[in-house]
Each structure stands twice: as structure tokens, then as C-alpha cells.
Amino acid sequence: MNKMMKVATICSAVALAGCAGPLFRQAPLVGDPVAAVTAKMGQPTAVYPAPDGQALEYATGPMGQYTYMARIGADGRLVSYEQVLKGETFARIKIDQATKEDVLRTIGRPAERSRVAQRNYEVWSYRYKEAGVWNSLMHVHFDQQGVVRQMLNGPDPLFEPKDRNPF
């Protein structure tokens, strides 16, 4: 191996080590106590109380397309661990029923927050891979009481080519 290849290999290893978030750690096992979950995953980005325990959020940041939730039962042990920014999880959010707290426990914190003045909605936006392929944004709209009133998804402009000219 020449010197340039060695430097490139070392730089790649350092870059990956710096990304040692939930994607690069050993996943916790169902039944693990909370201490074992945090030992494997590190400190969560947020903790949300739930009626039957708590949810530990492991978000990959405002530009990330993955958030992992470790659901802890009332007995302090891991019940489930999953990547939640996906269509199946968004479908669990019930329009006209779910609240901001429900959304936080289900899919975690949003990448962006904005407002729709016409209806006075607060909008939480989540980056994700639609069907595991397309760079998308899910927009969850809340009324003034904090209840979900609509959900809309579409392409994530962050990943759209800036110089696209259809003409």
C-alpha cells in the first residue's frame, strides 16, 4: 500500500468513528435493562415518558434520515428497538387524535419546525427515506391545541438538484 492509500484509509476510519451513532453501534437486545441499553447506545437524544414506561430517542440530527426508539417497559427493560422514520410508523399517527406528545413518543423530535399561517398550524417536518429509497419529508400539522390535523409527505428539497431546469 502506498502512502496516499494509507492516509486515505486512516481518514476513512477516523470519519466513521466520528459517526458512531446508533447506525454503528451494537443494537440492544429485547429484555436488556435500561443501563445496558445506554451502555450500548450511549445517552439518548431525548427521553419521553409513556403510559407503560418510556421511550429513549436516538436521533441522527436535523439532517439525518433515521431516528431509533428504544421502548422501555414499566419493569425498566427493553421492549423494542426500531428505526422509526418510515412509512409504517408514520401510519400509526392518527389524524384528529394524536397529540404532540404522542408524536414525540412515536417518531421523536422533528428535523424542522415551521408554521402555516392560513390555518395557524404548527408543522413538524421529518427527513426520511420513503420506501427505503426516496429522500422525503413528512410534514405533521398540529392545530392550536396540539392535535394532529393532517400529514403530508413529499420530496426533500435538501436533496433536489439545484440546477434542474426542465426547459
pLDDT tens per residue across span 82-115: 999 999 999 999 999 999 999 999 999 999 999 9
Residue 14 — pLDDT band, cuts 50, 70, 90?
very low
Cα distance between residue 7 and residue 64, in whole Å: 27
**What per-residue string of b and e applies to 20-49 under the rule 16 or more CB within 10 Å gives b?**
ebbeeeeebeeebebeebeebbeebbeebe
The reply to whether the predicted model has a pTM over 0.85 is: no
Closest to 107 measured CA to CA, from 133, 87, 134, 122: 87
The set of cell numbers assigned to 82 is 426500531
pLDDT tens per residue across span 25-78: 788 999 999 999 999 999 999 999 999 999 999 999 789 999 999 999 999 999
Checking if the pLDDT of 23 tops 60, the result is no
